[in-house]
Amino acid sequence: MKTLLSEREIHTAVDQLARRLNNDHAQRPLTLIGVMTGSFVFLADLIRLLQMPLRVGVVQASSYRGGTSPGKLSINAEMMPDIAGRDVLVVDDIFDTGHTLVEVLRLMRELQPASIRTAVLLLKEGRQEVELRPDYIAFQIPDAFVVGYGLDYQDQYRNLSYIAALEPDDIAGK
């Protein structure tokens, strides 16, 4: 494993992102929807820094099933609050091909929010297959399989306080 982003770098970027959101939204109420499971650490750190009135909910979206290549996308929105007429910020851990976020946004637009924006911790360079670009991006990273700070490989490494790239031996050895 190779460290890409230290704990300090992550906290600095989350703080800067929170300041932008506080400036952009002032005291207007905001509903944050975390895309689970990978975004939960990012979401928790972010909401503690936001100053506007807010509501928080989650959707579960998954396309990785025990490997490093995405499969069929599954979305479960049962734990998402009503977003009709509300300003919504979708918070995700990583923007890779972009298909997950596009599908989550399609689902949410059907629920008629007043506005919908997106924030991602990581944007993986050169992997996008969609026209969408997230509104808020904390980091752009190279094309590597990353873990830590909520991101996992086969349900491991979510607890790391930093973000690391797995080496081929790390993946083959599991």
What is the set of domains in the chain, with CATH numbers? Answer: 2-62+73-144 (3.40.50.2020)
Q: Which amino acid is at 106?
A: R
- At 150 the pLDDT is 96
Round to whole Å and give the CA distance between 152 and 55.
26
- At 171 the pLDDT is 77
Listed in sequence order, the DSSP H helices in the chain are: 7-25, 40-47, 99-109, 168-172
Q: Which of 15, 96, 169, 170 is catalytic?
A: 96
Tens of pLDDT along the chain (174 residues)?
999 999 999 999 999 999 999 999 988 999 999 999 899 999 999 999 999 999 999 998 876 555 555 556 777 777 789 999 999 999 999 999 999 899 999 989 999 999 999 999 999 998 889 999 999 999 999 999 999 999 999 889 999 999 999 988 877 655
- At 55 the pLDDT is 96
To the query of whether residue 15 is one of the catalytic residues in this protein, the response is no
